[in-house]
Chain A
């Protein structure tokens, strides 16, 4: 993970987050909702970040966009988007980042659009924020984006107000705004949580289609494993502000190598599962500021052993698979036995 600065920067990665620690309040007696988060994303790839609410996934996303709320700051670690060093960026670089290198899609399409502005000008405004284009060109670009977002009659839709659209349509407008500046990285914060099940797939399909079509990287934060399973190439599992497991989506979901991931999967109802087979995870996530020094999942873990109380770090357990679980070998055996 360490390396000389020249090696660290860029390295061909679209997004590289290393040992990110995000803190609230003063350095001495504040607490860190995100600690030691490391993840990366490449072009054309959809990376899912899953975890319960409070696991720090949204804050990690906001840190990547240099958009942390007041009073919250990056304590240590690095965030690189292309050649931009986000943590140490000055005003000009932040401007280059926002709307240029990254676009962001929000959870709640009701509030992510300005209710007093027509949707077209909102997209056109975003298109003009970074390139010197005329009003006419920006409008044409907005209409083109609406078309890309599968709006029929984009010219007519241009003049609609947000309240005249359904939730799914609004979310597609939000995506259009996020894409207006031609970002290389699209950050999606629970983009389908507020949507009906019927439009969820359509919006997700649109997002993943974009990754391939525009060759951009997509970071998709969600608490819904079903969503992650359908659209992600890779999955990063977060718990109590840490990345606990990472790997290809299919592998993570079929053969979890962290006790927390396994517990999450067992809590998801499937077509085959019976009520009895569903297991709630006992207890609740540690409160911020009370995270144990060892593996944070120990108090709720059914597989924990005394050694788990010791600090543990994310290690590579197989090609492209990382886990921060001491019992990952036991897990591998368990899952295999289950399969047989």
Chain B
């Protein structure tokens, strides 16, 4: 840590005049101020960069209609497989002459939005079930542990693909199948944590204090165990994005002609030798999204566990 940054670090509250002077003279003033602000909200580099990446992707997805240069499904038969850098098509066109950049932008809408949307149901339901099971114990816990173990015994991806295959492709299907399977992971996480928390003395104290159970769960148990579920949810979003793109690759994803990154990679397969960029560009998009979510997970882990 630099001397300049090190000086005002330990103190909370308004800086003394000496500190203000040091900051005012410092060539790194902007950075130092940023660091102080960052400490106040508990931000760290991983969290900021991750949020920036995902925020940008969400913004791109939300504004897809405005910012994409072309209609993502419009075909230009005379201009197929154009390389990146072609006039009017910065990232080139695919085998049907559709603009790659536009498809990538609409893909962000489909993949990132659907992934985060699919996350909500299993997160809420699984956490709820897990907390009640772990805190209450008894027959409810035994039944839930049985159900969870049975579902977890199968490879999740295989189970999900089977479900989507049965229910038929589509955004709704993806959300339903993820909800049906993925809740067990959250339930197991929350159950273990709630069991650990249920014997903590402050929970006992609340029980001796005659505080109603729903309130003990809401104010004493949930706030103390939710952080790891949130952190896991971010990693889980990566898995769901990969799942959606895998479905796209298998032809079970978001139905064409809507674009998604997995479908783009699948369609690029025959051209991998000569027009490699067709597969690589959506591949990079997937990596960037996954990287951003992983950074958020990492940053949140640092932030929330330092209590």
Contact = CB atoms under 8 A, between A and B. Distances in A.
Given A98-B210, A99-B211, A115-B224, A106 B205 contact: yes
Nearest to B220: A114
A99 B204 contact: no
B307 interface: yes
Nearest to A103: B208
Given A106-B204, A108-B201, A125 B224 contact: no
B200 interface: yes
Interface residues on A, range: 20 to 34
A291 B269 CA distance: 76
A99 B208 contact: yes
Given A70-B137, A117-B219, A125-B219, A104 B208 contact: yes
A125 B216 CA distance: 10
Contact of A67 (B208, B211, B223, B224): B208
A74 interface: no
Interface in A34-51: none
A111 B210 contact: no
A129 B200 contact: no
B199 interface: yes
Contact of B209 (A111, A163, A181): A181
A185 to B, nearest CB: 11
A111 B220 CA distance: 12
Contacts of A107: 201
B210 A99 contact: yes
B201 A98 contact: no
B208 A102 contact: yes
A111 B207 contact: no
Where chain A touches its partner, the secondary structure class is loop
Nearest to B225: A116
A98 B203 CA distance: 13
Interface in B131-166: 137
A259 interface: no
B276 interface: no
A115 B219 CA distance: 11
B5 to A, nearest CB: 25
B202 interface: yes
Interface in A230-255: none
Contacts of A69: 199
Interface string A129-146: 110000000000000000
A126 interface: yes
Interface string A163-177: 100000000001001
A100 interface: yes
Contacts of A104: 204-205, 208
Contacts, number: 73
B194 to A, nearest CB: 14
B218 to A, nearest CB: 11
A180 interface: yes
B204 A114 contact: no
Contact of A99 (B200, B201, B209): B209
A113 interface: yes
B209 A129 contact: yes
Contact of B224 (A103, A116, A130, A181): A116
Contact of A126 (B204, B211, B223, B224): B211
B208 A98 contact: yes
A99 B210 CA distance: 5
B208 A111 contact: no
Contacts of A98: 207-210
A111 B205 CA distance: 10
Interface in B200-244: 200-202, 204-212, 215, 219-220, 223-224
A180 B209 CA distance: 8
A64 to B, nearest CB: 10
A8 interface: no
Interface string A91-102: 000010011101
A189 to B, nearest CB: 9
Contacts of B219: 114, 117, 125
Contact of A114 (B137, B202, B207, B210): B202
A115 B307 CA distance: 8
Given A115-B224, A116-B223, A117-B219, A65 B208 contact: yes
29 contacts: A65-B208, A67-B204, A67-B208, A98-B207, A98-B208, A99-B209, A99-B211, A100-B210, A103-B208, A104-B205, A106-B201, A111-B201, A112-B204, A114-B206, A114-B219, A114-B223, A115-B224, A115-B307, A116-B224, A117-B220, A125-B206, A125-B211, A129-B209, A129-B210, A129-B211, A177-B209, A178-B205, A180-B209, A181-B210
Question: Closest 9 CB pairs between A and B?
Answer: A99-B210, A116-B223, A99-B209, A112-B201, A126-B209, A98-B210, A104-B208, A106-B201, A129-B210
